[in-house]
């Protein structure tokens, strides 16, 4: 990370620290979903697990990240529409630093949100026998997932015509875990829904995290998860930078 990126990153982080309710607001929805599914629906859902919080947590963390990246799009949209982005680009700084500052801010702020969600899950009975290496691998998967969705968020942040448009892209991302193995086993789903659920990125990511945290070993799911995250990130990075150069370059 170059010095220009560091300065711009600190600027964005100071804005968040002045208004920490952003992180709290993003964490509220996942925590409410935890409470709802564990204490209201949990008794009726059969997952083969004795502790439904453990089963549920990986998917809830992904929902928290999907909610959080919407704020990246909003912050970027605000910088573009206010003319601040154009002003930055007249300065003797590396142009890519402007986008990378927003992306890294998303990674840091979403990490805080995920920690808040995990703490809430601990109060609700979440327990894991994972070792430090397993947790580091989980952190790596979540970090890569955050990068992938954040670069995706950059595109509407640059192209949207309104604040609502800048954040609306996140709604399908938040909904996607509901049609995956995040809440129930995919084996319980009807034919065409099961095919979609088993072949979309969230299922492999959830299965990989769940295996690392509770099973102690992970199979091909981790490679599928990493491939999905890396593929989405590369494609989103390409189109985000292409749009950045077209508009402001």
What's the pTM value of the predicted model, to 2 decimals? 0.89
Which contiguous run of DSSP H or E holds residue 201? helix 201-210
pLDDT single digits (tens) 167-186: 787 888 888 999 999 998 88
CA angle at residue 185 from 179 to 189, to 5 degrees?
60
User: For residue 26, what are its two tokens?
Assistant: 């993003």
pLDDT at 11: 72
Q: How far is CA 122 from the centre of its chain?
A: 20
- Which position has the token pair 């490679």? 223
| Segments forming the whole domain that contains residue 195 | 3-248
pLDDT at 2: 58
Residues 134/213, Cβ–Cβ less than 8 Å? yes
Residues 6 or more apart whose CB falls under 8 angstroms from that of 25 comprise none
pLDDT at 65: 93
d(CA 120, CA 116): 6
Residues 43/142, Cβ–Cβ less than 8 Å? no
The predicted model gives 202-207 an average pLDDT of 94
Domain count, the chain: 1
pLDDT single digits (tens) 58-100: 999 999 999 888 888 888 888 777 776 667 666 666 767 778 8
Distance (Å) of CA 134 to CA 13, 138, 173, 182, 210: 29, 6, 26, 19, 10
């Amino acid at each position: 990370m170059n010095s220009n990126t560091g300065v711009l990153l600190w600027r964005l982080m100071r804005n968040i620290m002045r208004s920490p309710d952003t992180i709290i607001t993003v964490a509220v929805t996942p925590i409410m979903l935890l409470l709802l599914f564990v204490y209201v629906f949990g008794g009726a859902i059969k997952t083969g697990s004795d502790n439904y919080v453990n089963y549920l947590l990986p998917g809830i963390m992904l929902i928290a990240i999907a909610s959080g990246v919407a704020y990246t799009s909003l912050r970027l949209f605000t910088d573009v529409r206010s003319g601040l982005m154009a002003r930055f680009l007249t300065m003797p700084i590396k142009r890519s630093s402007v986008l990378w500052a927003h992306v890294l801010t998303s990674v840091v702020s979403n990490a805080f949100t995920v920690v808040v969600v995990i703490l809430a899950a601990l109060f609700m009975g979440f327990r894991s026998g994972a070792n430090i290496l397993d947790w580091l691998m989980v952190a790596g998967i979540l970090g890569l997932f955050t990068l992938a969705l954040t670069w995706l968020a950059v595109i509407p942040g640059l192209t949207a015509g309104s604040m609502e448009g800048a954040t609306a892209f996140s709604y399908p991302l938040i909904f996607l875990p509901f049609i995956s193995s995040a809440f129930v086993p995919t084996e319980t789903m009807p034919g065409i829904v099961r095919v979609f659920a088993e072949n979309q990125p969230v299922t492999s990511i959830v299965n990989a995290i769940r295996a690392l945290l509770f099973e102690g070993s992970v199979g091909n799911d981790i490679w599928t998860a990493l491939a999905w995250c890396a593929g989405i990130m590369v494609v989103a990075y390409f189109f985000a930078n292409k749009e950045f150069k077209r508009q402001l370059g």
